Chains A and B, each alone.
Chain A
Amino acid sequence: MTMPWGASGDGVILALLWRETVNGLRSRSRADLAWVFLGGGFLVVYGLADVTAVLHANAALARQSARLWSVWLPALGALLGVGGGPAIARLALGRARAPFLVAAPISLAARRRMAATVAWAAAAPPAAIVAAAVAGACAAVHKPDAVVWVCAATTAFLLGFAVAAGLAIRRGLRDGFGPETIRLNRPGRAHIALPRVLDAGRPAWIAAWAWRLQAGRLAISAPMAIAALLGAPIVVLAVGASVAQHRAVPATLAAVTAGFVAFAASLRFHPLASPVLRSAPITFARTWFRLMGLPLALSAIVYAAPAGAAVLAEPSQWAAPIGGGAWMLATEGAYGVFAAFFATSPALAMVAFAAALALSAYESAEFGQTILFLPLGLAVWLWRRAERRFRHG
């Protein structure tokens, strides 16, 4: 298969990614490809048909809402761009750190251009999808000036993408591009050692491996500190609301949300793809449970304080935090399966899980009762595929 662009100059990383994608597709069995394209295609068509029906049913309301078109739609576009930009930047930086490129006499500016070329090429397909989605929505509700709304949403997406990808590329190249994906501990950064006892189960040290803790030590980073500083006040406010109103619900919601966020942010399954484990005498289930262990414990710790506050705020509503905790645990279990299937792409796992939940929520709203067969069925199927891949390739 030939590349649609040259493999020289700024297009080198793009060419590498293209070849990786083609080789990845070629290495899949026909059955796998059929599942992905036919199954995925069916879900997309089904989702589109449903969304179109909803838009038709609410055409007048959607058409007349000025805020929806002028604020929420561009904001959503920008959010999508901000979410996708760093992921693409990481892909580009990963290839820019390939040993043969590190050794090549290429200036920092040239490396930046190479990464930017990848970012722009990778932004084109999702930008086209955003444009097509908005154009389709305009057609479905007969919104006038469709071109303006399409341009607004697509521009917002591209701006968000460019800013986020640009910052990530700049930071990534500034941090150096040694041949390893992990840099040695930088001096001056605070470290917390992961106690041996927390990571002693079979296989030992797998959490430190999954979290890429260097020699088992956790470096305190700016994003971690910011997330903690932003998250803590929200939880405190929710607990305060519960105490003031004698209602368990606000603190329970905060507990479940914070617990799940802590779990999802700390869950990493990339060791499942490593030959170290895949050629070892250990079952997929045991490895999966070990990798789930510390994120679940972290989630429980984050959940416990606001959930306890919820019970204290209104003891008669004790069922709310317990029920919330059970839902959180079930959701985390299902998400853990998605994350194990997309072992090396946590962002893709999150997107797939969110899409399954969104479709399930939509179907539940449509039929007036909770419908979980889609995420549960998907989780069972993904578990079987991930297990088979782990055991036999």
Chain B
Amino acid sequence: MVESRLPDALDIRDVGAGYGGRRVVDGVSFAVARGDVLALLGGNGSGKSTLLKAITGRIRLMAGAVAIDGVDLAARPEAAKAGFGLAIDPAELPMNLTGRQYLELVASIRRCAPNAWPCGDVVDRLDFGRWLDQPIVAYSLGTRAKTSIAAALLGAPPLLIFDETLNGLDPLAAWEAKAIVRELAASGRHGFVVATHSAEGVPLLCDRAVFIAEGRLLRSWDTPALGEAAAQPGGFEAAVVALLRGMSRRAA
């Protein structure tokens, strides 16, 4: 029997994107296979959020191509968007709905049950069940982030995108969320893009990393390189800080 290889969860090639005709991101290429947890790093204003907006179809590509689970985003946006779960910025959640209603809304769009998670009961694991029937407006930042994560996982999409989502979680929820990420990546059915400023945590959670500066991919670490950089305590963080300092000096 010949085993057919599943397409990469995400494959972006020479992506250019921006606003009002001005490119903020240019010539960025990388792929995220199922099983990968890719850290997306960069300073403030480096283009990380713009890149994620382009990948999730919220701004138009000015150049290049984005394929999600093998589906071209520009050609078939709805089909491509079925291939990823984005943990929405907590500030962008529909504040008047309850957490339960929000999960039902996302589940109805993804045509799955509102508890169709690939890793057990996420509400239970992240411990926010007692908030589910309260309006989201009454939630703390952390509870909103938990709701975002739970919604992103609904329907078990192959690509999961967390944009600073883990930052607002309490230590227990953060630990559990990272356990979910590792568990799903280990299953080989999901790939992750985790945008974060928390460089010290990257080697513990991710197996690859890319560093964006001035809209371009400046440096990338594959699994051995990431392991090597993290061999000494704080080694990876020091490498990222050195890159940021270099950028800062060049700008000055």
The chain A residues found within 8 Å of chain B, CB to CB, are: 25-30, 180-184, 201-206, 208-209, 212-216, 271, 274-283, 391-393
Complex Cα distance, B134 from A30, in Å, reads 44
Contact flag A392-B74 (CB < 8 Å), given A29-B20, A184-B138, A281-B109: yes
Contacts A30-B20, A393-B59 aside, 13 further interface pairs with beta carbons under 8 A come to A30-B21, A182-B95, A203-B109, A205-B101, A209-B97, A215-B98, A215-B134, A275-B88, A276-B93, A277-B109, A279-B88, A281-B78, A281-B82
Contact in complex: A281, B81 (CB < 8 Å): yes
Contact in complex: A203, B53 (CB < 8 Å): no
B109 / chain A contacts, CB cutoff of 8 Å = 202-203, 277, 280-282
Partner among A27, A204, A276 whose Cβ is within 8 Å of the Cβ of B19: A27
Contact in complex: A392, B97 (CB < 8 Å): no
Contact in complex: A392, B60 (CB < 8 Å): yes
Give the most central of A25, A180, A212, A271: most B CB within 10 Å: A180
The closest CB in chain A to the CB of B133 belongs to A215
The closest CB in chain A to the CB of B92 belongs to A275
A215 / chain B contacts, CB cutoff of 8 Å = 96-98, 101, 133-135
Complex Cα distance, B139 from A184, in Å, reads 11
B59 / chain A contacts, CB cutoff of 8 Å = 392-393
B29 to chain A, nearest CB (A): 20
Complex Cα distance, B101 from A206, in Å, reads 9
B168 at the interface (CB under 8 A from A): no
B53 / chain A contacts, CB cutoff of 8 Å = 393
A23 to chain B, nearest CB (A): 9
A-contacting residues, B76-125, CB 8 Å = 77-79, 81-82, 84, 86, 88-89, 92-98, 101-102, 104-111
Give the most central of A204, A215, A280: most B CB within 10 Å: A280
B88 / chain A contacts, CB cutoff of 8 Å = 275-276, 279
Contact in complex: B95, A180 (CB < 8 Å): yes
Contact in complex: A209, B135 (CB < 8 Å): no
- Chain A interface, >50% SS class: loop
Contact in complex: A209, B79 (CB < 8 Å): no
B137 at the interface (CB under 8 A from A): yes
Contact in complex: B58, A278 (CB < 8 Å): yes
A204 / chain B contacts, CB cutoff of 8 Å = 101, 104-105, 107-108
B82 / chain A contacts, CB cutoff of 8 Å = 281
The chain B residues found within 8 Å of chain A, CB to CB, are: 19-22, 53, 56-61, 74, 77-79, 81-82, 84, 86, 88-89, 92-98, 101-102, 104-111, 133-135, 137-138
Contact in complex: A209, B105 (CB < 8 Å): yes
Contact in complex: B137, A184 (CB < 8 Å): yes
Contact flag A28-B96 (CB < 8 Å), given A208-B101, A393-B58: no
B58 / chain A contacts, CB cutoff of 8 Å = 275, 278-279, 393
Complex Cα distance, B109 from A28, in Å, reads 29
Complex Cα distance, B138 from A313, in Å, reads 52
B104 / chain A contacts, CB cutoff of 8 Å = 204-205
Nearest 3 A/B pairs, CB to CB: A281-B82, A393-B59, A204-B108
Complex Cα distance, B108 from A182, in Å, reads 24
Contact in complex: A205, B137 (CB < 8 Å): no
Complex Cα distance, B106 from A25, in Å, reads 32
A279 / chain B contacts, CB cutoff of 8 Å = 56-58, 81, 84, 86, 88
B155 to chain A, nearest CB (A): 9
A378 to chain B, nearest CB (A): 23
A183 to chain B, nearest CB (A): 8
Q: What are 5 pairs between A and B in contact, CB < 8 Å?
A: A204-B108, A205-B97, A209-B105, A216-B98, A281-B79
Contact flag A391-B57 (CB < 8 Å), given A26-B20, A181-B95, A275-B88: yes
The closest CB in chain A to the CB of B19 belongs to A27
Partner among B20, B95, B107, B108 whose Cβ is within 8 Å of the Cβ of A28: B20
Contact flag A271-B78 (CB < 8 Å), given A27-B19, A208-B101: no
B84 / chain A contacts, CB cutoff of 8 Å = 279
A182 / chain B contacts, CB cutoff of 8 Å = 95-96, 135, 137
Contact in complex: B19, A26 (CB < 8 Å): yes
B48 to chain A, nearest CB (A): 15
Complex Cα distance, B74 from A212, in Å, reads 32
Complex Cα distance, B106 from A45, in Å, reads 46
A186 to chain B, nearest CB (A): 13
Contact flag A202-B108 (CB < 8 Å), given A26-B20, A283-B78: yes
Contact in complex: A280, B19 (CB < 8 Å): no
